[in-house]
Structure 1
Amino acid sequence: MATTLDIRLKKANKIYHEGELVQGVLLINCKSDFQHQGITLTMEGSVNLQLSAKSVGLFEAFYNSIKPIQILHYSVEVSKPGRLPAGRTEMPFELPLKPKGNKTLFETYHGVFVNIQYTVKVEMKRSVLSKDLSKSSEFIVEYKQKSEQSVVKPVPFTITPESLQNIRERSGLPKFVVRGKMDSVNCCISKPLTGEIIVEQCAAPIKSIELQLVRVETCGCAEGYAKDATEIQNIQIAEGDVCRGFTIPIFMIFPRLFTCPTLATSNFKVEFEVNIVIVLQDDHLITENFPIKLFRF
């Protein structure tokens, strides 16, 4: 068996809050005792920005603003150069979860053009003839839950051919009236988005009604910004030519890691929208857009 290196965090769910200690153990398994040139543990947090293909080349300033933003960095020497015995060796560690200088810790978020990631990495230096060993483990940072609630902001809506935006030719649209409400567009990220939708009338048969969650990521600087919207998930809430006048519930859970509390900084923004999409039998789409704000409380 070759020498193996592993990181085990104390918390099984790997969720930590600012000010807590990230605790765990380093596990080293080896068949026979061996010499090493030092073991180092590094904890890092960074925001990685990326430009979409359509934005590259628009602004020279982008190339400076999209460098990774380091918001957390600790490095400690776990063991000086020496010899480890055969078998299993455990080395406990703990590191404080505090931002670097005047930086701010953001929640872990895996997007398309914005990525906020936190990792613990261990490196073992070995002799010239042996390959160095390393292992990294991601952990999740969440904001502490606040005692106060955000303001509930219900949004009633009515969708008709006249209410649709960006439609050049309305004469080809069937007559329809769709009503409903979003219970709130200020949403707790750990609770579902809820509401209801009622198709009061629609001259054309309906194929499907879907709920689409969209991330809107903005990267850039004072010279210019690139803004891109991409789909996170699409949930079908009704299938077929639904009964007219029937109340259809809206219910959607925000996926972990792919969403985070709404963010706005000088270099990037992460915002969210919800689309109600009514698909007609001829595959024409009727869409209503709702910008939403996510909080953790």
Structure 2
Amino acid sequence: MAFLDIRLKKVNKIYHEGEVLAGLVVVQSKTDVQHQGITLVVDGSVNLQLSSKSVGLFEAFYNSIKPIQILNYVVNVAKPGKIPAGKTEIPFELPLKPKVNKSLYETYHGVFVNIQYTIKGEMKRPLLAKDLTKSLEFIVEYKEQKEKAQPKPVPFSIAPDSLQNIKDKSGLPRFSIKGKLDSASCCIKNPLTGQVIIDYCDAPIKSVELQLVRVETCGCAEGYARDATEIQNIQIGEGDVCRGLTIPMYMVFPRLFTCPTLSTSNFKVEFEINLVVVLQDDHLITENFPIKLTRF
């Protein structure tokens, strides 16, 4: 049996536009291997899909959601021939350049928007022998960005009167929740910080949580589909928390599931923070904060 592998020089696999993607194609076999050539395919694409609730809304729009290719080229690294038994390493260097009129976005794994970069090696074999393939994902990050994170503190105060989406407020307990987000403009490499104080609450509290939400929009001329999904939920207070106590907020942004806020003609990726106070009877008091993420 012969094995094909791809090894990148950078251990963390993080690259920037304009850099060189360098590494080795490794072929291992106990016997000589006859082949019809070894190729490398570098691909970068944005895959969009609609949620099930949006599919029936606009059929034309559904058909127009095709992958957006932003990077694609094929390179031959070995001509047809024979590779000797043992371990053979074939070096390669490929420039990371987007297609004409395209730009490289940061790697992002979402629900309805997926931005992914892969390098795939393929060794064509003679008849009856199975072709060997190996695919590897690498990560693209911005080298520079015009917009940098500027501190924008967001103080907040939540009381029964400030709540929306509730018609009858007569059955609500009395409560007052105050605090602040240190900034609504965040550098993705730094944690989101802030504080919350439960001044008073007549009903016993079960939990205080911080929720990170992605808001993905896919669309074209026919219309737009906007969907919000949870990325992570962190508990910052457990049980009937002390009144008047400052509870710190601290949330690290997970790599791959977040990226700098992105807005293009076909899709958008935005982020929000929800502060959720869960009462003992499982009713929720929620405050929503749109945030902007940047790389720097």
Give the TM-score taking structure 1 as reference length: 0.98
Please give the secondary structure, in 2, of the residue aligned with 1:291.
strand
- 1:207/1:280 contact within 8 Å kept: yes
Match of 1:245 in 2: 244
Matches within 5 A, 1:125-140: 125-140=124-139
Match of 2:233 in 1: 234
1:146 deviation in Å? 4.9
Further displaced range: 207-216 or 54-63: 54-63
Please give the secondary structure, in 1, of the residue aligned with 2:161.
coil
1:63 deviation in Å? 2.7
Match of 1:37 in 2: 36
- 2:36/2:125 contact within 8 Å kept: yes
2:147 and 2:173 map into 1 onto residues whose CA distance is 46
Match of 1:97 in 2: 96
Amino acid at match of 2:99: K
- 1:160/1:178 contact within 8 Å kept: yes
Amino acid at match of 2:3: T
Match of 1:123 in 2: 122
2:287 and 2:201 map into 1 onto residues whose CA distance is 16
Match of 1:221 in 2: 220
1:163 and 1:227 map into 2 onto residues whose CA distance is 25
Say yes or no: does 1:78 pair with 2:77. Answer: yes
Matches within 5 A, 1:278-293: 278-293=277-292
Matches within 5 A, 1:1-297: 2-146=1-145, 149-297=148-296
- Unaligned 5+ segments in structure 2 are none
2:148 and 2:3 map into 1 onto residues whose CA distance is 47
2:266 and 2:287 map into 1 onto residues whose CA distance is 29
1:165 deviation in Å? 1.1
- 1:65/1:267 contact within 8 Å kept: no
1:3-55 per-residue CA deviation (whole Å, 9 max, x = no partner) reads 00000000000000111001110110011002100110110000000110001
- Alpha-carbon spacing, 1:273–1:54, altered in 2? closer, same or farther (3 Å): same
1:167 and 1:148 map into 2 onto residues whose CA distance is 37
Give the TM-score taking structure 2 as reference length: 0.98
Amino acid at match of 2:157: T
Amino acid at match of 2:165: N
2:130 and 2:192 map into 1 onto residues whose CA distance is 50
**% identical equivalent positions:** 74
1:193 deviation in Å? 0.3
1:180 and 1:105 map into 2 onto residues whose CA distance is 38
Amino acid at match of 1:237: I
1:134 and 1:68 map into 2 onto residues whose CA distance is 22
Please give the secondary structure, in 1, of the residue aligned with 2:99.
coil
- Alpha-carbon spacing, 1:79–1:190, altered in 2? closer, same or farther (3 Å): same
- 2:205/2:278 contact within 8 Å kept: yes
- Unaligned 5+ segments in structure 1 are none
How many matched pairs? 296
- Alpha-carbon spacing, 1:148–1:294, altered in 2? closer, same or farther (3 Å): closer
